Each structure stands twice: as structure tokens, then as C-alpha cells.
Amino acid sequence: MVDHVSREKRSQIMAAVKGRDTRPEYIVRKLLFSAGYRYRLHVKKLPGKPDIVLRKYWAVIFVHGCFWHGHGCHLSKTLPKTRKVFWRKKISSNKIRDEKTLNQLIFNGWRVCLIWECALKRQGKIEEGKLLKILSQWITARRKHLAIIGKFPQDKIKAKGQIILETEV
């Protein structure tokens, strides 16, 4: 498939893709703040600079983009048509870095929540009330690890279509 924009324009578009303060992040932050939780953003002293840090609860939250972090859901199934080797390597290295970051945080006593973009967008979207309930229960129950994914039974996730995958570490 031929790209419909020039190489320079495509470069400009890709450069504008934000790595922080994204719409999915704003959704989660708004929910937490409205429920009375106070947090810090992108704490540089922690591995991976988590999107949201709840120091009082020793909890961090990452809001991962499905494409950039290789989730494998409907939002990330297709790679760009050009430079496939580059994109495979890029996403693979992101996944390896994510795993190292997760392990470092857990080793240092932090509890980690991963919220995938597909849980906050389009057909797989989880209702805000339900998402807040899940997050509040996780934060206050002191469970170790939580991942929230969209409602897609076809996802190639260990949870096989469940909304939540929870693992004690």
C-alpha cells in the first residue's frame, strides 16, 4: 500500500506522536482525581518514569499504547507496510524494556498496574465507573500486579478475553 503523504509529512506526523499526557492517560488521571486520589506524574527517579505514581499506596500505573508496546489486540495487529524490520525491532525492544522496568519496580517494592489503550478506546472500552471501581479496589486492597485490557475475546492475551488479568508476584 502506497503512503498518501510525503515522506517529510509522515515524519512530521510521527514526530507529533506523544509519549506522555495522552488522551488515555488523561482519562485515568481524571477518574483517580475525581475519586480523591492524589498522585505524581512521570517520576524520573523511578524506573520507566511511570505515568501515574501513588506514593501513599506504593503503587504505579502505566497507560500503555497497544501499538507501541506490542499488545497484540485489534489496535496493534498490523505493522506499517514500510520498514517492517525496523518496526518489529522497535516494538520488540519496547517490550523487553517494559519487562525490565516492571521487574525493577516490583523488586523495589512497588505495585504495578498496566492499563492498555484498548481498555479506554472504541469497542473494547470499559465503562468509567467500572474502571474506577477496579482501580480503587486494586489500590486499597494492596494487590501486587494488575493489568486491564479491553473487552475482546479474540485478543491473544493470557486472560483470553477477560477484562482483568491479575497476578500475585
Residue 156 C-alpha cell reads as 491473544
Residue 152, in any domain of the structure: yes
Q: What is the pLDDT of residue 79?
A: 78
Q: What is the pLDDT of residue 159?
A: 40
Distance CA 102, CA 62 (A): 10
Q: What is the pLDDT of residue 15?
A: 66
Q: What is the pLDDT of residue 52?
A: 96
**Count of other CB atoms within 10 angstroms of residue 117:** 25
Task: Residue 32: give the domain boundaries.
Answer: 18-167
Q: What is the pLDDT of residue 19?
A: 67
The DSSP result for 52-68, as a single string, is EEEGGGTEEEEEE-TTT
Cα–Cα separations (whole angstroms), residue 96 to 36, 89, 100: 34, 11, 6
User: Which of these, 21, 31, 29, lies nearest to 128 by C-alpha position?
Assistant: 31
**Count of other CB atoms within 10 angstroms of residue 70:** 18
Return all residues near 78 (Cβ < 8 A) that are at least 6 apart.
Answer: none
Q: What is the pLDDT of residue 65?
A: 85
Helix, strand, coil abundance in the chain, percent, nearest 5: 40, 15, 45
Distance CA 152, CA 150 (A): 6
What total number of domains does the chain contain?
Answer: 1
For the chain of 169 residues, list the mean pLDDT of each consecutive stretch of 10: 70 67 89 95 94 95 87 75 85 92 94 91 82 92 83 46 38
| Cell 494492596 belongs to residue | 142
pTM listed for this prediction? 0.79
> Would you give the DSSP letter of residue 74?
T
> Would you give the DSSP letter of residue 127?
P
Q: What is the pLDDT of residue 10?
A: 67
CATH value at residue 45: 3.40.960.10
Contact between 118 and 124 (Cβ < 8 Å)? yes
Angle 101-78-122 (CA atoms, 0-180°, nearest 5)? 80
